[in-house]
């Protein structure tokens, strides 16, 4: 079955062009050109992935992203002409999994889409403990005591990667490769923002992290159980 992708961009020429490129790769494409209609289109189409432009008429792309996130954890890739850190961070914080700066290499875009859509690799079933959390690997759930914490698939994979090797310190590059699937020098800001998002969700006190610990000058590692 071909994956369905919803392209939300107000530049119709660009959207069409993206459509041509992605169809050649075997994806099914739907379009939406207005932010206000994006949510409706999302519900109607039920895509496997959303390509979302930030600057939209009707409703701002950030807003659309946040709304979609409320309903679903499907991969969202931001398309943006603005590469300033503040804009990127804002987009990532609102729920996007990745971002692509215009103009982009179409092959790059396709690679990132495929990465986001790939099925999770075989992981040992059972549960893992990180700090005071319990990770249900097969069910993709995180529990603190009896309370469930909602994580997007990406956030879960990030936490899982750290938890599978508790003693290991992961550099940002390693995380980019393992969790995002990038085999070249990508922007480590991605990792920074997602760690912040993850911490905001799972840490009791985000300023004193116990689950995802920073190792200064190197990267991150999982906190010990208990």
Partner 1 sequence: MLRLGRLWRSSLQLRTVTISVVMSAVAVGIIGAYMSFSIGDNLFDSRLALALSASERSNAAAQSRFDAVQQTSGLDLDRVMDTAADAALSSSSTSAGTSIAILRTPGQSGARLPVDKLSAGLDPDVVISEGLRSDVESAEERRLFWQSVSLPREDNGSDPGLVVGSVLDVPGSGQYEMYLVYNLSDTQQALSFVQATLWLGMATLVVLIGAVTFTVVRLIVGPVRLAAETSQKLAAGELEVRIPEKGDDVIATLARSFNGMADSLQAQITKLATLSQVQQRFVSDVSHELRTPLTTIRLASDVLYDQRDDFPPATARTTELLHTQVERFELLLADLLEMSRYDAGAVDMELEPTNLVRLVEDAIDAMGTLSASKGSELRLEAPGGYFEAEVDARRIRRILQNLLANAVDHGEGRPIVVYVDSNKTAVAIAVRDYGVGMSVAAMERVFDRFWRADPSRQRSTGGTGLGLAISLEDAALHGGWLEVWSAPGEGSCFRLTLPRVRGTMVTESPLELPPVPAATKEDA
> Which residues here bind partner 1, judged by CB under 8 A?
11, 13-14, 17-18, 20-21, 24, 55, 81-82, 84-86, 102-107, 185, 187-189, 216-217
Which is closer to partner 1, CB of 104 or CB of 225? 104
Which is closer to partner 1, CB of 69 or CB of 82? 82
Residues 6+ apart with CB under 8 A from 219: 169, 170, 171, 172, 174, 175
For residues 7 and 194, give the distance between their C-alpha atoms in angstroms, rounded to a whole number: 23
Query: What's the min distance (Å) between Cβ of 5 and partner 1?
Result: 15
Query: What's the min distance (Å) between Cβ of 201 and partner 1?
Result: 24
Query: What's the min distance (Å) between Cβ of 149 and partner 1?
Result: 29
The DSSP output letter for 168 is: P
For residues 158 and 44, give the distance between their C-alpha atoms in angstroms, rounded to a whole number: 30
Query: What's the min distance (Å) between Cβ of 192 and partner 1?
Result: 9
Which is closer to partner 1, CB of 43 or CB of 102? 102
Please report, in angstroms and rounded to a whole number, the separation of the first and last CA atoms in the chain: 43
Which is closer to partner 1, CB of 68 or CB of 109? 109
For residues 223 and 72, give the distance between their C-alpha atoms in angstroms, rounded to a whole number: 28
Q: In this structure, are residues 8 and 54 in contact, taking their beta carbons and an 8 Å threshold?
A: no
- Written as six digits, the tokens of 58 are 């009707």
Query: What's the min distance (Å) between Cβ of 150 and partner 1?
Result: 30
Length of the chain: 226
Which is closer to partner 1, CB of 21 or CB of 117? 21
């Amino acid at each position: 079955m071909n994956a369905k992708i919803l392209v939300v961009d107000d530049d119709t020429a660009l959207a069409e062009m993206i459509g041509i490129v992605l169809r050649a790769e075997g994806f099914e494409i739907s379009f939406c050109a207005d932010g206000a209609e994006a949510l409706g289109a999302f519900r109607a189409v039920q895509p496997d992935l959303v390509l979302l432009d930030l600057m939209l008429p009707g409703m701002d792309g950030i807003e659309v992203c946040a709304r979609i996130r409320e309903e679903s954890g499907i991969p969202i890739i931001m398309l943006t002409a603005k590469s300033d850190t503040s804009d990127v961070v804002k987009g990532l914080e609102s729920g996007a999994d990745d971002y692509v700066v215009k103009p982009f290499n179409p092959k790059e875009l396709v690679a990132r889409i495929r990465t986001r859509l790939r099925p999770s690799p075989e992981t040992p079933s059972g549960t893992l403990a990180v700090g005071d959390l319990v990770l249900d690997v097969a069910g993709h759930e995180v529990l603190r005591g009896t309370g469930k914490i909602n994580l997007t698939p990406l956030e879960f994979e990030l936490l899982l990667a750290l938890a599978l090797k508790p003693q290991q310190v992961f550099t940002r590059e390693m995380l980019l490769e393992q969790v995002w699937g990038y085999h070249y020098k990508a922007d480590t800001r991605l990792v920074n923002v997602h760690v912040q998002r993850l911490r905001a969700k799972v840490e009791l006190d985000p300023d004193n992290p116990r689950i995802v610990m920073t190792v200064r000058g190197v990267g991150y590692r999982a906190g010990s159980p208990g």
